[in-house]
Structure 1
Amino acid sequence: MAEPTDWRSQTTERALNRLERQGFAWEFLRRNPDYRSDYDRMRGTPASPPSVSLPQRSVAHQWGLRFPDRSRSLGY
């Protein structure tokens, strides 16, 4: 996961102030080091050993994530 921008910069502060609840919650969550660690392990990034893997559902449940508009197959 890419490093988020510094929330203390004026540009970022203005952008955060324009967000609705869901967007602000996401910005807060993605800056959480524990979430970032879980995400990296789930994705199998080099930041974690390949033997460690967390099912996506477990990570989503732990962090209270919901995906109501899941993408659908286009039938190709």
Structure 2
Amino acid sequence: MPTSFWRSPELRDHISRLDRSGFAVEFLRRNITYRRDHARLQRRIARRDVDADAECAAFVRRWGLCFCSCSR
């Protein structure tokens, strides 16, 4: 995504109206490391290589999340 988009007035307005949870979602949605980690977790769960609940709990702890819908 071009840097100019991140500085757009529309995005600035949108972000300024977010509460903490909303801002956190927007941050994680754009965080490539989080997205790769989540995709890796989904693949491992789909292959049944791991205990889905334990892996999901570790993912939640690793990212400081207050929810987990990754094993469903």
TM-score, normalization: structure 2?
A: 0.60
CA contact (8 A) 1:16 1:24 kept: yes
- If asked which structure has higher relative contact order (CA below 8 Å, sep 6+), I would say 2
Question: Where do 1:33-52 residues align within 5 Å?
Answer: 33-44=32-43
Give the whole-Å Cα distance in 2 for the aligned partners of 1:58 and 1:27.
Answer: 21
Structure 1, unpaired ranges of 5+: 1-5, 45-49, 71-76
Pairwise CA RMSD of aligned residues? 2.9
Give the whole-Å Cα distance in 1 for the aligned partners of 2:28 and 2:34.
Answer: 7
Give the whole-Å Cα distance in 2 for the aligned partners of 1:11 and 1:52.
Answer: 43
Q: How many residues matched?
A: 59
User: Which ranges of 4 or more aligned residues in structure 1 deviate by more than 6 Å?
Assistant: 51-54
Question: Where do 1:11-50 residues align within 5 Å?
Answer: 11-44=10-43
Q: Specify which structure has the higher proportion of helix.
A: 2
